[in-house]
Structure 1
Amino acid sequence: MHTLRTPDERFADLPDYPFAPNYVDVDDQDGGSLRVHYLDEGPADGPVVLAMHGEPSWSYLYRKIIPLLVAGGARVIAPDLVGFGKSDKPTEKSDYTYERHVAWMQAAIIDHLDLTDATFFGQDWGGLVGLRLVAENPDRFARVVIGNTGLPTGEGSPSQAFLDWQKFSQESPVFPIGQILNGATITELTDAEIAAYDAPFPDETYKEGARIFPSLVPTSTDDPAADANRAAWEVFRAWTKPFVCCFSDSDPITGGGDKIFLKLVPGTEGQPHTTITNAHHFFQEDGAPQIAEVILDAIARG
């Protein structure tokens, strides 16, 4: 597997991202290794929050939320998925599979940091990968908070908005990541923030992971990841620990996606589910204080 590593100078002086980098090498599932980056902020003995980003963002997405969680006493772990942020970037689309993303995060975060009694928070692909981690390591997680995400098994028909996004990701000659992020927020990002989202990708050769992600979403029941996701759902059908939904009010991709969790996951009963208002798909940009409050409240409730 051939990989690219974004030069460190691309990440110099990013706005509101003062966090120290942490790295771990993991098996690339192809006979080599990959360097994975993660943030580890807050008191070492604080309640752990694992916050996972989606596509095509990176841990920069959590820059507004991390300080709020740390101020509330939490220890926040925010990894960069392989192919994103400061993590290594395999150069072939075929290097990326749903299973590999789960395995890479299992090794880099769950096993390496030996997480226990953790709160999981995931959005977009952060949820697709992270919910699998929770289901495969249920004893390590005390509670789940999700928004603007899902755990698809291929049943039903994807929305037209998703199909359009999938088509664009594969066919557009240019994949303008910073502008994509700006187009999926209500808050207008500054030029410097757009540049920060572009920072991990010096040119199009670094973007194969970002481009392939939409095609890895299971959209048929015989998708390679469908069986593993169905097995994860069996775990969540019996999940009685707290499970909180906080989807946004203006996301054309995942709107209404909370309904299946509210219907099938016993742990959702009696929880203070919240709608993040005036927020688009990347609601971490639009509703950081609301999201942080939901997570800290979930921890405080036990």
Structure 2
Amino acid sequence: MKVLRTPDARFDGLIDFPFEPHYLSIDDTEGGALRVHYLDEGPAAVAPVLLMHGEPTWSYLYRHMIPILTQAGHRVVAPDLVGFGRSDKPAERQDYTYQRHVDWMSDVLDQLDLHSITLVCQDWGGLIGLRLLARMPQRFIRVVVANTALPTGDQPLGAAFESWRAYSQGVAEFRAGRIVQGGSVRELSVPEMQAYDAPFPDESYKAGARQFPMLVPCTAEDVETQANAEAWEVLRGLEVPVLTLFGAEDKIMAGIDQVFQSQMPGAMGQSHQILPEAGHFLQEDVGLDLALRINAFMRDTAR
């Protein structure tokens, strides 16, 4: 497997990002190794909040939320998915599969030996994070579902998703900062957009970002449809508390919060919210509010 690594200098001096990088080495599933980056903030001895990002972001997405969570006494672990952020980037699109992403992040949880996890997942962080929950439910104690889905190919994903997927495959230059701006309500600053572009020095680093939209199961014949259906069978039997927090201006994910509310037993009676003035990247639009709601959810569901 040919692997690219973004030069560290690309991450120097990023705005509002004072966090120290951490790394571990995982099996690339072909006999080699991949370096995965993660943030680890707050007291090490307490139960972790696992922040899972999606496409085409990285742990920078959670920069405004991490201090609010740690000030409340929580440990925060925020990995960069393989192909994103400071993590290694396989150079060929065929190296990226949905199953591999689940396996790679499973390796991360195993190596970090995380237990009593509060999962916070958005976009592909949910497609992967919810599969982790189904694979190893004993590691998790609650879940926050934000602007994400776990599709099984039996419902159309809608015109907005189809438009996004067509754009991702056809645009000549895949600019992460511009994409995050397009999915946010507020106006990002130039340095913020540059921070989202930082992991990708040129188009050769973007194989994972380009491939992700094509990995979403859209029909019954897609390769991961069955695996997601099997994950749902597990999720429907879990009693862990589930909170949905969705952005009102996210056209792709509109209404999917109700799927989780109706299908996961632990969602009953929780303070679910559709957040106004929030788009797909609600961490950018309402990060403070989001973090405070997560803190309150954790306090209210403490065992």
State the TM-score, normalizing by the size of structure 1.
Answer: 0.98
Task: Assess if the C-alpha contact under 8 Å between 1:90 and 1:209 holds in 2.
Answer: yes
Once residues 143 and 157 of structure 1 are traced to their aligned partners in structure 2, the CA distance between those partners, rounded to angstroms, is 28
Partner residue, 1:178: 177
| Secondary structure in 2 matching 1:202 | coil
Question: 1:96-123: per-residue Cα shift (whole Å, max 9, x none)?
Answer: 0000000000102x10111111100000
Other-structure match for 1:58: 58
**Inter-partner Cα distance in structure 2 for 1:158 and 1:136:** 24
1:119 alignment partner AA: T
1:285 aligns to what? 284
Task: Give deviations 1:217-259, integer Å, cap 9, x for gaps.
Answer: 0001121111111111011111112011111111011011111
Post-superposition offset of 1:277 = 1.9
- Aligned positions of 1:155-174 closer than 5 A: 155-174=154-173
Structure 2 residue aligned with 1:146: 145
- How many residues are aligned here? 301
Q: Which runs of 4+ in 1 moved over 3 A?
A: none
Partner SS state of residue 256, structure 1: coil
Question: Which residue does 1:235 correspond to in 2?
Answer: 234
> Displacement, 1:202?
0.3
One-letter identity of the residue aligned with 1:296: N
Structure 2 unpaired stretches of 5+: none
The match for 1:270 is 269
Q: Secondary structure at the match of 2:205?
A: helix
Which residue does the alignment assign to 1:90? 90
Equivalent-residue separation in structure 1 for 2:251 and 2:274 (angstroms) = 14
State the Cα deviation string for residues 243-290 of structure 1 (Å, max 9, x = none).
111111110110111111111111111111122221000000001111
Cα deviation for residue 180 of structure 1 reads: 0.7
Match of 2:197 in 1: 198
Instruction: Provide the residue aligned with 1:70 in structure 2.
Output: 70
Aligned to 1:101: 101
CA contact (8 A) 1:4 1:91 kept: yes
2:152 and 2:116 map into 1 onto residues whose CA distance is 27
State the 1:47 CA deviation. 2.8
Instruction: Give the counterpart letter for 1:8 in structure 2.
Output: D
- Structure 2 distance, partners of 1:187, 1:58, is 19
SS in 2 for 1:246: strand
Q: Structure 2 CA distance, aligned partners of 1:72 and 1:255?
A: 31
Native 8 Å contact 2:146 2:246 kept in 1:
yes
Letter in 2 for 1:92: E
Deviation at 1:156, TM superposition (A): 1.3
Structure 1 contact 59–78 (Cα < 8 Å) conserved: yes
Gaps of 5+ in 1: none
* Sequence identity percentage: 52
What is the CA-CA distance between 1:31 and the residue it aligns to? 2.0
Residues 47 and 73, structure 1, Cα contact 8 Å, conserved in 2: no
| 2:130 corresponding residue in structure 1 | 131
TM-score, normalization by structure 2: 0.98
1:287 match: secondary structure: helix
Work out whether residues 23 and 35 of structure 2, in 8 Å CA contact, stay in contact via their aligned partners in 1.
yes
- Per the alignment, in what secondary structure is the counterpart of residue 246 of structure 2? coil
The RMSD of aligned alpha carbons is: 0.8
Contact kept? 1:276, 1:290, Cα under 8 Å: no
User: What is the aligned partner in structure 1 of residue 14 from structure 2?
Assistant: 14
| 3-state SS in 2 of match to 1:174 | coil
- Give the superposition deviation at 1:299: 1.3
Aligned partner of residue 163 in structure 1, secondary structure: helix
> Aligned pair 1:222/2:203, yes or no?
no
Q: Does residue 37 of structure 2 align to residue 31 of structure 1?
A: no
